[in-house]
Amino acid sequence: MAERSQDETWKSQEDAAYRWVQETTRKLTPAELETRILRHFGTSRADARRVVRGLLAQGRLTYIYQYGQSYLDLGFKRPTRITPKVRLYPLECTRTPEADEVAIIIEPGAAFGDGRHPTTRLAVGGLETVCRPGDGDCRPVIRCGVDIGTGSGILAIVAARLGVDWLDAVDIDPCALNEAHRNIRHNHLSDRISLRQQDHASLEAVYDLLLANLRIPTLCGLAGWAQAQIRSSGYLVFSGFREHEYPTLREAYPASTHRLLWSRSQAGWGGVVFQKI
């Protein structure tokens, strides 16, 4: 019993340390994470170091190097749950999805969107809210969507797996599109997601859903296009803006034309779902 209790203690400390790295607004060094562990749990430096080393050995955390300094980041060598329903799996990882789980295969790469950044998790959370509403709510019919600045393709892939019939995924970066192509193929969605190397302004289709994980100037710059190309009662899932930038976003998408359905923040970043009125 004592041994199991010690195991449970290690596990709770590892989970807390992982969340701190996940939610921090700046990168933590190994020593900084150790200090946070020992202060929070009242443990020794040696035990705190063991927790960090355990997370590294499990692949939950990894080292990154910037300007000669080592920092900790989320690893991607094991499944990563990014919302209550959506879990990301590395390509070579054994997949044993739980009941009602949405399992997504993502190759680690240079393109943005492997689930480690708060904005990706916020966007997926908003998308999940739209496509899988709570008990008793009517599930909306979303036949077509567009993912602008698709990066790794993760948002388009999740949308398709959550029931959106087909999507255009656009990006101006050919390297990102190459990675997105592989990820879409790994998830067997090539017949439902169309990749396009072009700017959103040249898209002429009308959509039920707009996905965009982009910085605030670009999100605001989409407003005129979205007003014309998103259907009435359509959904806009946005992330990529800082919490303090929300008023600027609301100016571009005012309450008179866009109803706020959902909003969350994490590590200083914001995510919202608007419905076009």
- For residue 2, pLDDT over 50 is answered with no
For residue 184, what is the DSSP state? H
Q: Answer for the pair 33, 74: CB distance below 8 angstroms, yes or no.
A: no
Looking at per-residue pLDDT, the higher value among 75 and 72 belongs to: 72
Cβ atoms < 10 Å from Cβ of 41:
16
Quote the pLDDT of residue 59.
82
Strand partners, 194: 168
Q: Answer for the pair 111, 176: CB distance below 8 angstroms, yes or no.
A: yes
Q: Answer for the pair 169, 151: CB distance below 8 angstroms, yes or no.
A: no
Integer angstrom CA distances of residue 200 from 2, 112, 116, 147, 232: 59, 18, 26, 9, 19
Tokens read off for 84: 């209550």
Question: Would you list the DSSP string of 154-165?
Answer: HHHHHHHHTT-S
The percentage of residues in the chain with a pLDDT greater than 90, rounded to a whole number, is 66
- For residue 235, pLDDT over 90 is answered with yes
Quote the pLDDT of residue 123.
96
- For residue 136, pLDDT over 80 is answered with no
Q: Which helix (H) or strand (E) holds 23?
A: helix 2-23
Quote the pLDDT of residue 112.
54
Q: Answer for the pair 232, 276: CB distance below 8 angstroms, yes or no.
A: yes
CATH topology of domain 111-276: Rossmann fold (3.40.50)
Cα separation of 120 and 131, whole Å?
A: 16
Strand partners, 241: 270
Mean pLDDT of the chain: 89
Q: For the chain, how far is it from start to end, CA to CA, in angstroms?
A: 58
- For residue 114, pLDDT over 80 is answered with no
- For residue 5, pLDDT over 90 is answered with no
Residue 84's Cβ-side half-sphere holds a number of Cα atoms within 13 Å equal to: 6
Q: Please give the average per-residue pLDDT across 179-208, as a whole number.
A: 95
Q: What does the chain come to in residues?
A: 277
pLDDT tier, 113 (very low <50, low <70, confident <90, very high otherwise) = low
For the chain, strand residue ranges (E) read 61-66, 69-74, 80-81, 86-90, 102-106, 144-148, 166-170, 193-196, 207-213, 230-242, 258-266, 269-276
The residues near 58 (Cβ < 8 Å, ≥ 6 apart) are 14, 75, 78
128-137, 178-187, 243-252: segment of lowest average pLDDT = 128-137
Q: Where are the domains of the chain?
A: 2-74, 111-276
The pLDDT tens digits of the residues spanning 11-47 come to 999 999 998 998 887 889 999 999 999 999 999 999 9
The pLDDT tens digits of the residues spanning 164-184 come to 999 999 999 998 899 999 999
Strand partners, 274: 236, 260
Q: Please give the average per-residue pLDDT across 116-131, as a whole number.
A: 91
Pick the CATH number of 2-74 from 3.30.930.10, 1.20.120.1630, 1.10.10.10, 3.40.309.10: 1.10.10.10
The percentage of residues in the chain with a pLDDT greater than 70, rounded to a whole number, is 92
Could you tell me the pTM of the whole model?
A: 0.78
